[in-house]
Structure 1
């Protein structure tokens, strides 16, 4: 049974109060019902506002958006803001910049309203403290998003009035990050472990999530001593919860395996009341009711998968056979098999040069795949995962943080600190590859040794393939400062292009990433109209 906390809540609440010109102010306020003291009469009513904060923290749409901003996907459909950003055409008036800014501050406003009023409720003190810690986690999560994308931003830990919202100055990114670390450290000592929650409360934020997310924040800013400190608490201890790798890589995202031992944080969904459907824009076009393909995996991502024996793939080898098994568990490609939600299995044919190929999946079909690849990750063929028959209303919890990520963070931190050895390798990279199904060869599983730089390349590539399509790649290439390289290369698709008379890879337009501008987003023009003290990031 899914926890009641995460059931659908009627969205009669409007968080965005519009100023003249359609601008959104910083002190966006929940409706009067949530600030009126007559509302705060029970723990259940308090939980309903906390539920809204959970919804504002994260959603699948943001994860798919983040993946589209990386070199793992080619945006070949339409011309929305993500594609505008990818093409280097964004400016301070780009709507996505203002939407993310407003959404984050709206969520922060919700947590401030909750924290300012929860003491009015006559309730068990331990429950109050736990709920407050959950709200504080959500607030820290949202401030991380803000400072990650925009750098220095307005920072406050209680409600501000309209006059302050119009005159407040940004706080430095370093100060905000330091506060996030301190806040999450404190929260981790308050929240229960996942095993201490009752079954009806599964899905709530845990102390393990606070530790793991603190590691993610530290990783994002290359604070490797802190990454080591935080991940060590989960890799080498069970004090904050016991986590391990789920045996089946592909099925850890399936409905039947929700709340498995690898999941640290996921977004809760339930049949009928709350569902998501973004995956329908990334799977094979021949599946029922797919209307268009938003973005497709790139050849660059395909090329990053090793051979099953641990060797690197090259042009002398078959493009798909005997590869890292995670490739076929993550991506649908030519000659893959896929099962529809009504239990029909078919073979995918993307070859546009096959005169008998009338498949909707083929390269070149309008609204179909541009690269020859589709998502498999997040697609569960079990009908129970879908709320309404052939529709794309998915009710699976959406995984956002898992133990494999912790192992990869730990390995990267240890290597960056010059401490990588066979023991660390065996508890991180080796177990990930064993779970994936690599051959039992020294090249695949044994510690390779080598320089710190050589190990860095191995660990970074392992991170790319293990977490492919999960939204983390754009954060990685930004913190590694490789975005200026990989996002300025031509996008490539599968090797089916005969336009030159010879078989070649499809090539698409080159992305555009300005290293002197694009590591931060523009402060939205709408916000600068409200408050000129916000300033502007370089290049905008």
Structure 2
């Protein structure tokens, strides 16, 4: 007699504390065997794996859709009910970690192995498609699932560092053997992921241009991009000796080599690399170049459009999105004036604002940049108004004049034109509902004087015939790969070469930012100076895409004042007083050394005492 999957799982849960890892069957099935009665049933397992891809900046997910941005120095979540407060206040822990995905990823991993070990047994009942499936489709499916298996392991790696490697499908009866799997060292895990990527890439197509219905599935480019990103992380200070320019990094007065990177398995096996290996940067650069050399991707001419239109030229791989009405997506980010219908979920921080260079290519703190913060400028700006693009006359603060063009597509700031009026984030009480700041209401408005514009369609008006946009979330895109290569080669070489400049400049040229090095700027000719340039370029180009949270961790800079400062404008002031920088809440995020890696869930460690060791600082 067959036992239902529900019965099996209920028994397993008794022994493994409700671990979802054993649940591989889509909800519409009752037994695992049902999945392999026909290929069309088995395909649903792949669909489950694709459906669980992350969307790291989902404005449609209410208060918890943008935690990665609000948990870094990019933004501040205006809604107190958001779980972003846990990361801002350092209050997350092994039991309460909304960004943790340990159990979910291992559930996906088990689904992947279940598919790989059974798919060749599945009959293709429809004779018309049998040959095509057996010779083309099923082999491709196996490579897709290998890629997805590698992807979900990387999602664990970037959060927890070393994790157990589950390298086959485990039956419920084998749970005791499974629980004896310990964490594997960084190099072993990286090798496991990259080997899967190589295997997948060898059998995946370059594209699905010949069958648009398949767009969104894994491709050769996606597999090579995942390999490159994994190697980039493996080369970064957090996973590569904990040092920069030959000097160990200290956090809270403690050398990370003996704290974060000092964790060992119970048998004494080191989990992290205590010694720096420069060649890891070269491996990462070569892998990024493998993606570039495919020659099938191009930067989209209008960077802003990547985030409200579907793009298949720059985006290498994406999570397939659906149709999003302006009332369900754009309004979450648009300023909170009720006449526009915005909800204003995110405030951009002063630290982020100050990272946008001047349009002459110089940082605002460079004496030659021309940056002025205490004057007014009469100028013009483009705006979609009365259902057409127009040029509007505006009077704005001088600190917003002549900035990187991405500033004007990423940020809503006081005085800029938007739809039928200008944005008002300073404290005014005589404009009624036309008020995007605190003014006569305190609600959930901007706490910094800024809102986040990126991901918003500039033509959308939630209250006036809102359109529906088809959005995808870009997981890998060419601009990111260019910056991987520039970063990896800059770190590998004693000083930047022409290729380092070429690939960062490809990204800058797209938005008409001056090429590097800037004439006369000595720092741009040095390894250390270009490191800051590349890191800042990533901060701007990839803002609000879920990268900064992890970048600052792999670079071991998340604890520095640069990243923990939490400042904004004086939202309770108007006129000149409004532009005075003031602390938001305490003025700083709480970031301790142990926050660099996420804690393994306590329940996982207690299942097999002495097998899984906890990350540094979370043992308490």
* TM > 0.5 fold call: yes
Query: Which whole-Å CA distance do the structure 1 matches of 2:200 and 2:518 have between them?
Result: 42
- Which among 81, 84, 90 is matched to residue 82 of structure 1? 84
Q: How does 1:260-339 map to 2 (within 5 A)?
A: 260-271=312-323, 280-286=331-337, 292-314=343-365, 316-317=372-373, 318-339=398-419
**Change in CA separation of 1:381 and 1:110 when aligned onto 2, cut-off 3 Å:** farther
Larger radius of gyration: 2
Which structure ranks higher in relative contact order (CA pairs < 8 Å, sequence separation ≥ 6)? 1
User: Cα RMSD between the aligned structures?
Assistant: 3.6
Offset of residue 363 of structure 1: 4.2
1:293–1:369 contact (8 Å) kept in structure 2: yes
Query: Which whole-Å CA distance do the structure 2 matches of 1:234 and 1:488 have between them?
Result: 31
Structure 2 length normalisation: TM-score? 0.74
Matched, 1:504 2:560: no
**Change in CA separation of 1:506 and 1:43 when aligned onto 2, cut-off 3 Å:** farther
Deviation string 1:391-445 (CA, Å, 9 cap, x unpaired) is 9x86411222110001111111111111665632553122222211236898399
Q: Which residue does 1:19 correspond to in 2?
A: 13
Offset of residue 286 of structure 1: 3.1
**Which stretch of the first structure deviates more once superposed, 145-154 or 300-309?**
145-154
Deviation string 1:192-235 (CA, Å, 9 cap, x unpaired) is 10266522211111111111121111112223112111111133
Offset of residue 478 of structure 1: 0.6
Query: Which whole-Å CA distance do the structure 1 matches of 2:566 and 2:109 have between them?
Result: 37
Matched, 1:212 2:225: yes
Q: How does 1:307-456 map to 2 (within 5 A)?
A: 307-314=358-365, 316-317=372-373, 318-339=398-419, 345-353=420-428, 356=431, 358-363=433-438, 365-380=442-457, 395-418=470-493, 421=496, 423-425=498-500, 427-438=502-513, 443=518, 449-456=524-531
Query: Which whole-Å CA distance do the structure 2 matches of 1:476 and 1:406 have between them?
Result: 14
Query: Which whole-Å CA distance do the structure 2 matches of 1:95 and 1:312 have between them?
Result: 36
Q: Which residue does 1:530 correspond to in 2?
A: 607
**Change in CA separation of 1:142 and 1:242 when aligned onto 2, cut-off 3 Å:** same
Offset of residue 57 of structure 1: 2.6
Instruction: Point out where structure 2 has 5 or more consecutive residues left out of the alignment.
Output: 59-64, 125-132, 236-279, 366-370, 374-397
1:24–1:102 contact (8 Å) kept in structure 2: no
Deviation string 1:46-70 (CA, Å, 9 cap, x unpaired) is 3222111011132245773322221
**Change in CA separation of 1:201 and 1:303 when aligned onto 2, cut-off 3 Å:** same
Offset of residue 534 of structure 1: 2.0
Q: Which residue does 2:153 correspond to in 1?
A: 143
Instruction: Point out where structure 1 has 5 or more consecutive residues left out of the alignment.
Output: 1-11, 340-344
Deviation string 1:245-291 (CA, Å, 9 cap, x unpaired) is 11001112232xx233101111112349x999566433322377967
Deviation string 1:84-125 (CA, Å, 9 cap, x unpaired) is 13311222221526x511221222122122212211233323
* Count of aligned positions: 513
Query: Which whole-Å CA distance do the structure 1 matches of 2:501 and 2:43 have between them?
Result: 43
Question: Secondary structure, in 3 states, of the residue corresponding to 2:401?
Answer: coil
The structure with the largest strand share of the pair is 2
Deviation string 1:297-325 (CA, Å, 9 cap, x unpaired) is 11111101111111222562521111000
Question: Secondary structure, in 3 states, of the residue corresponding to 2:301?
Answer: coil
Query: Which whole-Å CA distance do the structure 1 matches of 2:417 and 2:459 have between them?
Result: 15
1:254–1:380 contact (8 Å) kept in structure 2: yes
Q: Which residue does 1:457 correspond to in 2?
A: 532
**Which stretch of the first structure deviates more once superposed, 44-53 or 454-463?**
44-53
Q: Which residue does 1:119 correspond to in 2?
A: 120
Offset of residue 483 of structure 1: 0.5
Q: Which residue does 2:246 correspond to in 1?
A: none
Offset of residue 467 of structure 1: 0.6
Q: Which residue does 1:8 correspond to in 2?
A: none
**Which stretch of the first structure deviates more once superposed, 178-187 or 447-456?**
447-456
2:336–2:445 contact (8 Å) kept in structure 1: yes
Query: Which whole-Å CA distance do the structure 1 matches of 2:475 and 2:526 have between them?
Result: 32
Offset of residue 469 of structure 1: 0.8
Offset of residue 369 of structure 1: 1.2
Structure 1 length normalisation: TM-score? 0.84
